[in-house]
Amino acid sequence: MPIKNRFAELLPEITAWRRDLHRHPEILFDTHRTAGLVAARLRDFGCDEVVEGIGRTGVVGLIHGRRTLSGRTIGLRADMDALPIREATGLDYASATEGAMHACGHDGHTAMLLGAARYLAETRNFDGTVAVIFQPAEEGGGGGREMIEDGMLDRFGIAEVYGMHNWPGIPLGRFAIRPGPFFAATDQFRLVLRGRGGHAAKPHETCDPTVMGAQAVMALQSVVSRNCDPVEQMVISVTSFETASTAYNVIPPHVTLKGTVRTLEEGNRDLAERRIGEIARGIAATFGGQADLDYWRGYPVMANAAEETVHAAEVATAVAGDCAEAPLIMGGEDFAYLLQERPGAYILLGNGDSAPVHHPEYDFNDEAIPAGCSWWVGIAEARLPLG
């Protein structure tokens, strides 16, 4: 199951699809143009059924094998949305949409799954059904959850799900994966520390919330260093410190801290939420103020199923010669919602020595396309063998 020769032939065409998507990025659920192009191509390929509007703007194409005696359906998922970033690549196919760009490679993911869908519809060398899933709003919108809530998994009888993400720093066209927890849960918090404002020349007449905030920023790190088990992973980052004043000589009545929490154990989400509130309220009380905490749970931990991870790694090894063990990643991924509902696996595909994802100079490496397409096809043929 090496890289399919067909994808060498299709590479210029798939690259053209990818670059067109790159030039026309769409954010969150506003992927109407992308979804329309995807659905049209799936119909052109001869998919047996193409359904639009799942999870608002998601698309699912069904491809039946030469036989369907197995009665099984597996899902292959790609994300379609871009990021609210101004592109700085200078490419001739750079974003034509101000303030939006494909800075995470979802254009590549979509193009590769389209290429795989075309091949599977041509050959149908499997026993069962493949559902190719094109999802909106991975970048913070929970599009995977919305497609599930729209009944996608049950409607199409999807038994397993597989996903892929390009990864700068991994050699071009190579793969990496790990079983169990892989990507972190991603939570957010907002702390409002309230005191009593006044003139900066008379601090004794105030209850200074900026001092409370400064203390809180440092003290919150003790949750990681002194409350979390040191063999477990947790990140608490305060990313914004805003005051109610922009003047040089005014102590504001309140400050707002915003940040994110990343964990790989569900219990540590509870720990972080509890301790952030306790620490903030304790600091505020020490200085005579008060603290209010808002805490939002985002994407859950994304955990690969053990058996399906082995299968995914075997296919990757057949395509690329080997499959490395991937590191734990403290970023989030809403494929987690699909893996909570069905067994499956998520793999990294090397993008080579490129700018990192979510960077204005990032670009998906088109030379990775044959490997990515071959992996998706390999998953379908290995999990639904003709026998």
Task: Summarize the annotated binding site as residue ranges.
Answer: 104, 106, 139, 165, 358
Residue 72, SS3?
coil
Q: Which residues contact 28 (CB under 8 A, 6 or more apart)?
A: 81, 136, 137, 139, 140, 141, 143
Query: How far, in Å, CA of 276 to CA of 293, rounded?
Result: 8
Q: Are 240 and 224 in contact (CB under 8 A)?
A: no
Q: Are 210 and 195 in contact (CB under 8 A)?
A: no
Of 118, 4, 120, 46, give the one whose Cα is nearest residue 384: 120
Residue 84, SS3?
coil
Query: How far, in Å, CA of 174 to CA of 181, rounded?
Result: 21
Q: Tokens in use for 210?
A: 């900026």
Query: How far, in Å, CA of 282 to CA of 277, rounded?
Result: 8
Of 28, 22, 18, give the one whose Cα is nearest residue 97: 22
Query: How far, in Å, CA of 85 to CA of 155, rounded?
Result: 35
Q: Please, which residues bridge with residue 49 across strands?
A: 62
Geometric angle at alpha carbon 329, from 370 and 130, rounded to 5°: 40
Question: What is the DSSP code string of 180-248?
Answer: EEEE-EEEEEEEEEE-B-EETT-GGGSB-HHHHHHHHHHHTHHIIIIIS-TTS-EEEEEEEEEES---T
Residues contributing to the annotated binding site for Mn(2+): 104, 106, 139, 165, 358
Rg of the Cα trace of the chain?
A: 24
